[in-house]
Amino acid sequence: RATPPADVLSAQLAALRAGDMAAAFQLFSRARRLAIRDGARRDVREFNVKQEDVYVALALMLTQSCPGLIGHNSHEVLASVGDPSPTAGRLPQHRARVRVRSGPNNAARLFTITLTRQSGFDGGDKRDQDGFEHCWFVWTIHPDDGGGGGAVIERDQVPC
């Protein structure tokens, strides 16, 4: 319960580096896991999706939207910040900007990863009473390469 967002971020990056889709899936928030599971359905009438199919769908989603993230060579958290006073009624968030290096040329790519702290159980859906109330999980992962999603071109710094 007391796992800080930085530790969740580190675990998610390690899982993605290892290509461990089962571990990566478990580190996504409840709502995101439901959306991923829903996306793994082959048809709207399919309700019992195999967990292996969910992991394949997650890998495909991340490969398409965040190339170079799965199986990356290394990663570095460049910035990490939480919201000290979230808007009333909204979940607390923590954002990190991460550089990963991947491929044979060790190409650098930037990603923004947003974590949210799960809400407490409010007496509604019993699935929300899962023992992870108020825990941090990954909400979104997006490329942060100036909108192009391509490799970052690194240049030597020039003094002013």
Could you read off the pLDDT of 110-127 as tens digits, one per residue?
999 999 987 776 767 776
Name the band, by pLDDT with cuts 50, 70 and 90, for residue 87: confident
**Residue 93: is its pLDDT beyond 50?**
yes
Question: Can you tell me the distance from the alpha carbon of 26 to that of 131, in angstroms, rounded to the nearest whole number?
Answer: 13
- Lowest mean per-residue pLDDT among 76-80, 95-99, 111-115, 118-122: 118-122
CB 80 within 8 Å of CB 95: yes
Assign residue 134 a region (left: φ > 0; alpha: ψ between -120 and 50; beta: otherwise): left
pLDDT at position 132: 67
- Mean pLDDT computed over every residue of the chain: 85
pLDDT at position 146: 63
- Lowest mean per-residue pLDDT among 7-11, 96-100, 130-134: 130-134
Name the band, by pLDDT with cuts 50, 70 and 90, for residue 17: very high
Q: Once rounded to an integer, what is the mean pLDDT over residues 42-58?
A: 86
Question: Can you tell me the distance from the alpha carbon of 149 to that of 67, in angstroms, rounded to the nearest whole number?
Answer: 8
Question: Can you tell me the distance from the alpha carbon of 56 to that of 54, in angstroms, rounded to the nearest whole number?
Answer: 5
